Amino acid sequence: MAVHISVRQRLAQLVLVLICLSCAEGREIGARRRLADVHKHLKRVNKPAVKSIQSPDGDTIDCVPVSHQPAFDHPFLKNHTIQMRPTYHPEGLTFEQNKISSNGEKPMTQLWHQNGRCPPDTIPIRRTKKSDVLRASSIKRYGKKRHRSTPNPTSVDPDMLNESGHQHAIAYVEGDKYYGAKATINVWEPKIEQSNEFSLSQLWILGGSFGQDLNSIEAGWQVSPDLYGDNNTRLFTYWTSDAYQATGCYNLLCSGFIQINSEIAMGASIYPTSSYHGSQYDISILVWKDPKEGNWWMQFGNDYVLGYWPSFLFSYLADSASMIEWGGEVVNSEPDGSHTSTQMGSGHFPEEGFGKSSYFRNIQVVDSSNNLRAPKGVNTFTEQSNCYDVQSGNNGDWGSYFYYGGPGKNPNCQ
């Protein structure tokens, strides 16, 4: 039997087809526009290189002339004279070898060094790929941490502690003026459950309140599939002057940090990493304020003064820091409504000790006389000690130290 379709029904069908075509066209135009914006961003962030090195992990390291680095896109740095070395190092600075075993392996380095080095007067920059930017929620948010990710051990509201999905196991000092911090950090490759989560171990140099005006300088190692597209352990830095809202970024992904070193690439893979019951590797990081120029400098290991954050980037930190934190942070996105199994540190609890649990050792602060000294009144803090914990101690070789971390989800952490 023939089905009669009225003119009105035909018109309705035609309208639906046109709407669908219009939607598809709109989506296509939106996607094309986003790709065009991504390419524009890549052109801005990837500076012309005099040499490029392929790293075994798939990274491309571009050797960019010091004077052409991303920092100089900042309007306040257009006529900046680069400070090629700090006026002063902190007094009492000593570094030890960064490996605690005697099997004759090379000390900690970066993976890309296996295939070459950058020439003098250039700096190594990890090239940003299209896929890196497309993984971000937006081009504007690429290379930025989420708001409220700094551990606030003074907060008493447990709901506030977990609101951001960030969890921590840290040691901290407050109540004085601090002009820098140092630590030797055990390096691991923690497992990440979801690609939008991360695990990091770092030091924080903080000024201001935990509201909208927080100033933070951060450095350490991280595993972040979202940011880098893999699960490698990488050296990183971060800065913000407004609690992660509009200012600052990871590594050299925006203008701010001025790098002077030709050997170490921010965001590049650290190699080798520690193994459970096996060889232990650690890295030393020092951040301090140059008492003459006022810039905040960073040193990696014994030999590498990496560069500085100009003091004008900050409000509170233009003077000094009011709190120093050391420790681990993970994102708990609560997959399937339960706690993430993303690991912090080695993925093992502090009580397991050396060779099994991750540590920070020889933690120090820089005082107003530019002296490195042991921190006074170290406290510890964790939101959920059944998931990630921290235990501090003190001895002759390691000075002030702590073990930290954990597996995340386990029978006592659901």
- Active site amino acids: 218, 329
Chain centroid, CA 147 distance in Å: 14
d(CA 294, CA 296): 7
Residue 207 contacts residue 215 (beta carbons within 8 Å): yes
- Considering only CA atoms, which of 319, 283, 371 is closest in space to residue 88? 371
Other beta carbons less than 10 A from residue 56's beta carbon: 11
d(CA 39, CA 414): 42
Residue 192 contacts residue 223 (beta carbons within 8 Å): yes
Residue 64 contacts residue 48 (beta carbons within 8 Å): yes
d(CA 69, CA 252): 8
Tokens read off for 84: 């090629």
How do 166-178 and 379-382 pair as beta strands?
Answer: antiparallel
Q: Is 229 exposed, middle or buried (0-12, 13-18, 19+ CB in 10 A)?
A: middle
Q: Which phi and psi angles does 394 have, rounded to 5°?
A: -150, 130
Cis peptide before 272 (omega within 30 of 0): yes
d(CA 226, CA 224): 5
d(CA 173, CA 377): 6
Residue 161 contacts residue 153 (beta carbons within 8 Å): no
d(CA 404, CA 32): 46
Residue 64 contacts residue 49 (beta carbons within 8 Å): yes
